[in-house]
Structure 1
Amino acid sequence: MTSTITVPLYRLAHSRTGDKGNRSNISVIAWHPALWGVLVDQVTEAAVAQQFAQRRPHQVTRYLLPQLQAMNIVLDDVLDGGVNDSLNLDSHGKALSYLLLDMPVQVPAVLAQYLGGPPP
C-alpha cells in the first residue's frame, strides 16, 4: 500500500484564469512534471464540478495539455450572468481560481519533494 498525504491543489499547481460572459476559464499548471499524473487522475471534470457545486456550473469541460503538464478547465454558467450582469462583486473568473486551488488532493508521499507553493 502506498502512503499518501492530503494537500490543497495549490501545492501541486498554480493557475491562470479568465472569464468571458458567464463562462470561467481556469488553467491549472503543475509545479513539477512528476505531479502531472496526480493532476490528471484527481482534477477531473466530476471533481471540479463537485468543488464548484454551490456555483452550480451548467457544464465543466477539461482540456489536457500534457506537453505543458497543464490543463484548461472551462466552467459554464458560474459567473451569475457575467461580470457586467451580476450584482455579485466577486464573480470574476479570477476569484474562482482560488476555490479550485483549495481543492484537497491525495498525493503519494514519495512525490512530496516536488510539491510547490506555500507550505500547509
Structure 2
Amino acid sequence: MKLFDIAHSRTGDKGNISNISVIVYDQKDYDLVRDHLTAERVKDHFKGIVHGDVVRYEAPSLGALNFVMQDALGGGVTRSLALDAHGKCLASALLAMEIPGET
C-alpha cells in the first residue's frame, strides 16, 4: 500500500533543512508506519535530493513521526533553482512511498 492510504503529513523548511511529519489517520497504524518508515529508508527515498543527515523523531501519542533532513533544499528555499522541491512537494513524494500492508 502507499503511505498516503494510512497517513497524512505536515511540512516546514528553514534554510537548507526540510522537516516532514507523517501522521497516521488511525492510531492502530502507528506501529506499522514506525517499523517501516526509518530514517535510513527516508534518506534512500530522497537519494539525490537530501545530501545530509536524516533524523527521525517519534511522537507516539500523536501517531506521528517527524523527519528532519539536513542539506535538503538545494542551498535553501531562497537560493535553490528548483521550482518547488520544498516542503509540500517532498511530503507528497514521501507519502507515495510503498509500505507493506497488514496481512
1:106 alignment partner, SS class: coil
Q: TM-score, normalised by structure 2?
A: 0.95
The corresponding residue for 1:17 is: 11
Structure 1's unaligned 5+ residue stretches are 1-6, 110-120
Q: Between Structure 1 and Structure 2, which shows a larger proportion of strand residues?
A: 1
Q: What root-mean-square deviation, in Å, do the aligned CA atoms of Structure 1 and Structure 2 show?
A: 1.0
| Aligned residue among 21, 42, 50 for 1:48 | 42
Provide the identity percentage: 44
Divergent runs of 4+, >6 A: none
Structure with greater Cα Rg: 1
Question: Over residues 29-87 of structure 1, what are the superposed CA-to-partner deviations in whole Å (9 max), with x where a residue is unaligned?
Answer: 00101100001100101110111112133100000001111111111111001110111
Matched positions, count: 103
The corresponding residue for 1:3 is: none
Amino acid at match of 1:87: L
The corresponding residue for 2:22 is: 28
The corresponding residue for 2:91 is: 97
Separation of aligned partners in 2, 1:11 and 1:23: 26
Q: TM-score, normalised by structure 1?
A: 0.82
